[in-house]
Chain A
Amino acid sequence: RKEVEQDPGPFNVPEGATVAFNCTYSNSASQSFFWYRQDCRKEPKLLMSVYSSGNEDGRFTAQLNRASQYISLLIRDSKLSDSATYLCVVSPTGNQFYFGTGTSLTVIP
């Protein structure tokens, strides 16, 4: 079983829509969770960390469900500039990171 699994999409949504991505992880002892964004032909960049209590950054909300071993990313009021691949990242130990295959989002005018 893969360490991290994501729905690859693609998700095609109209501008202004709300979209949510989920990601499941296999190691129940995992400590740290992140969402990264990767634009086409660019390196991944940290979007936000995911905290146990959930956290919000503007239009982006990340949540962690330890019981079900998944994390989620919610994007409200989608912008064209949100089009990218979103990578779920899980770290069991703090030094070893496992990346999901990414979820492709295209926001359509």
Chain B
Amino acid sequence: SAVISQKPSRDICQRGTSLTIQCQVDSQVTMMFWYRQQPGQSLTLIATANQGSEATYESGFVIDKFPISRPNLTFSTLTVSNMSPEDSSIYLCSVKLGSGYTFGSGTRLTVV
């Protein structure tokens, strides 16, 4: 199975600032996925990042708030822009391998 390195593992940020989360996979994958897991909730898909094209965002998520880069087949970034306390959450990147997903270790974001 793939190894996914995600960083930072946690951060505390001031409201109004932005944070970029990085995800590195040790093998080439076509699609990378970004999820959010709010406290006590399950995972919600933010967007799907394909190399060489714009990310596809799910309902309720927009590019201006969560810009995504996918410069190659092993790397992606998610930026949480103009943060507010409601953005406090765990953000996870994921890749599909075989029939299931493998997740990065997550970024625990607290906005104060």
B88 CB, nearest partner CB in chain A, Å: 15
Interface of B is mostly: strand
Tell me whether A46 is interfacial, beta carbon within 8 Å.
yes
Size category, A interface: 10 to 19
Chain A neighbourhood of B108, CB < 8 A: 41
Chain A neighbourhood of B105, CB < 8 A: 42-43
Check A87–B42 contact: CB distance below 8 A.
Answer: yes
Residues A21-65 near B (CB distance < 8 A):
32, 34, 36, 41-46, 49
Check B45–A46 contact: CB distance below 8 A.
Answer: no
Chain B neighbourhood of A102, CB < 8 A: 42
Contact of A99 among B42, B99, B102, B104 (CB under 8 A): B42
Check B103–A44 contact: CB distance below 8 A.
Answer: yes
Check B45–A97 contact: CB distance below 8 A.
Answer: yes
Interface string of B12-30 (1 = CB under 8 A from A): 0000000000000000000
Residues of B within 8 A of A (CB): 31, 41-45, 48, 92, 96, 99-106, 108
| 21 A-B interface contacts by CB (under 8 A) | A32-B99, A42-B105, A43-B92, A43-B103, A43-B105, A43-B106, A44-B43, A44-B92, A44-B101, A44-B103, A45-B103, A49-B100, A87-B42, A95-B31, A95-B48, A95-B96, A96-B45, A97-B45, A99-B42, A99-B44, A101-B42
Residues of A within 8 A of B (CB): 32, 34, 36, 41-46, 49, 87, 89, 95-97, 99-102
